[in-house]
Amino acid sequence: GENVEQHPSTLSVQEGDSAVIKCTYSDSASNYFPWYKQELGKRPQLIIDIRSNVGEKKDQRIAVTLNKTAKHFSLHITETQPEDSAVYFCAASLNQAGTALIFGKGTTLSVSS
């Protein structure tokens, strides 16, 4: 089955710096890659997703890139702010019956001002 590895597990940056979180997946048939943000004590919420027919997607200060050949995808946050502090999860799935959405173990991002 699919396996998703996420690095780093913790990341500390100064306000205004950029942050990059990387994930690799094992099943080359995976074609949907969402990123979720979970603030302390709250539920995960989708911040951006990308499908396998697209190499990059941006939404204001966040972007996701996908390299299908290498089977990895990354989340990029520019001009970080204290409110970006949270746990970020990547995930991967196949659009086939009988498959699940597999999450990485998460990255705790701390943005200090």
Partner 1 sequence: EAQVTQNPRYLITVTGKKLTVTCSQNMNHEYMSWYRQDPGLGLRQIYYSMNVEVTDKGDVPEGYKVSRKEKRNFPLILESPSPNQTSLYFCASSLDPGGQTEAFFGQGTRLTVV
Q: Give the shortest CB-94-to-partner 1 separation in angstroms.
A: 8
Q: Give the shortest CB-19-to-partner 1 separation in angstroms.
A: 18
Residue type, 4: V
Q: Which is nearer to partner 1, 43 or 70 (CB)?
A: 43
Q: Which is nearer to partner 1, 3 or 12 (CB)?
A: 3
Q: Which is nearer to partner 1, 70 or 97 (CB)?
A: 97
Question: Which stretches of the chain bind partner 1, using CB under 8 A?
Answer: 1, 6, 9, 31-32, 34, 36, 43-46, 49, 51, 89, 91, 93, 95-106
- Angle made by CA atoms 14, 108, 57, in degrees to the nearest 5: 80
| Six token digits for residue 111 | 């943005």
Q: Which residues contact 49 (CB under 8 A, 6 or more apart)?
A: 32, 33, 34, 35, 57, 64
Q: Tell me if residue 6 falls in helix, strand or coil.
A: strand
Q: Give the shortest CB-112-to-partner 1 separation in angstroms.
A: 22
